[in-house]
Structure 1
Amino acid sequence: MITLRKITLENRRSMFNLEVSEDQRCFVASNLSSVASCYVLVSNGGHPFPFVIYADEQPVGFVMLAYGTTGYEEPSIAEDNYCIMRLMIDKRYQNRGYGREAMKKILEYIRTFPAGSAHYCWIPYKPENIAAKKLYESFGFRDNGEVFNKESITVLRL
């Protein structure tokens, strides 16, 4: 069973050790970099939501969500909407359906509107990341035609 759990003193090291395969590193920042970004976001009034993705009691991935504008340069859809900024499943746990199950839990969480109401959830992704695009489309995300920082923007109406 997939669950999203807050980062704690007990699980932080195992989360930092989760990695994607070598050929996927160009698609996602390291978990350490993502957690550092969370600190920057909070320090500048942002609303990040980092979680360790668990399969039963085993950490298998990481997700970083954000609400509204983050202080970074952003696409027009960002204001008052949720973003799945980072999503990764460790290379040892890929191709087991964990990414799909994690997306279900992520969208359930977003639909609780933890930081405020929103009409959309958006995800930036590199166009050459075909596996990610297929996953997002299977949940109803559609590209809005915007390319921002060389990443396509895909959007889901909540």
Structure 2
Amino acid sequence: MDCITLQEVDESNFLACFSLKLDAQQEKFVSHPIRSLAQAYVYRKQCTPFAVCRAGQVIGYLMVIYDYDEEAYFIWHLMIDAQYQGRGYGRAAMESALDYIRSKPFGDSDIVRLTVNPENSAACHLYQTLHFSATGRADEDEIELERVLD
């Protein structure tokens, strides 16, 4: 597998992020990149959007946000373009995001959280293999998972 890098979304790559596509059955699980990046702009003091890149090409995006109320980092809106799925790029992007979070200061906790629709079996499997576990909390149609960083 080619090396995956995370590059902050900026004027050089945001249009490539806008062009990312999912299979039709996945669209209910992930917000469109335009909506996600608009959210990142609104929460720009605590959110960092990343382009997921392979050999200099944008193949996905994800966002990392710090929730000051919960004193925890969240991984928000992971998406890998449909034509690049099933090759380990989502796992590599998540591992890079966890490395990024490890480099950041924490409040009283070293917990990373995310939410996932339980019907999204591929994402649930990925998060389980990355040692995320259910917190018992839910947000609309998604369940919350968390992991303590090592």
- Structure 1-normalised TM-score? 0.87
Structure 1 runs of 4+ aligned residues shifted over 2 Å read: none
Residue type of the alignment partner of 2:112 = C
* Separation in structure 1 between the aligned mates of residue 10 and residue 110 of structure 2, nearest angstrom: 31
Offset of residue 150 of structure 1:
2.0
Distance in 1 between the 2:46 and 2:21 partners? 25
Q: Could you tell me how far apart the structure 2 residues matched to 1:138 and 1:30 are?
A: 26
SS in 2 for 1:104: helix
- 1:30-88 CA distance string (max 9 Å, x none): 1110110012213xxx400100000121110000110014xxxxxxxx61100011100
- Measured in 2, the distance between the counterparts of 1:108 and 1:19 equals 26
2:50 is the counterpart of 1:59: no
* Residue 122, structure 1, aligned to residue 131, structure 2: no
Q: State the alpha-carbon separation in 2 of the partners of residues 10 and 49 from structure 1.
A: 15
Partner residue in 1 for 2:32: 30
Aligned length: 146
SS in 1 for 2:43: helix
* 2:102 equivalent in structure 1: 111
Q: Can you give the 5+ residue segments of structure 1 that lack an aligned partner in the other structure?
A: 70-77
- Name the Cα RMSD after superposition: 1.3
Query: What TM-score does the superposition give when structure 2 sets the normalisation length?
Result: 0.92
In structure 2, the partner of 1:140 is: 131
Give the counterpart letter for 1:40 in structure 2: V
- Work out the CA distance in 2 between the residues paired with 1:40 and 1:12: 16
Partner of 1:145, secondary structure, is strand
**Amino acid of the residue matched to residue 105 of structure 1?**
S
Give the deviation of 1:7 after TM superposition.
Answer: 1.4
After superposition, give the CA deviation of every residue in 1:75-125 in whole Å (9 maximum; x if it has no partner): xxx6110001110000011111111111110110111116x4442001111
Structure 2: distance between partners of 1:27 and 1:135: 14
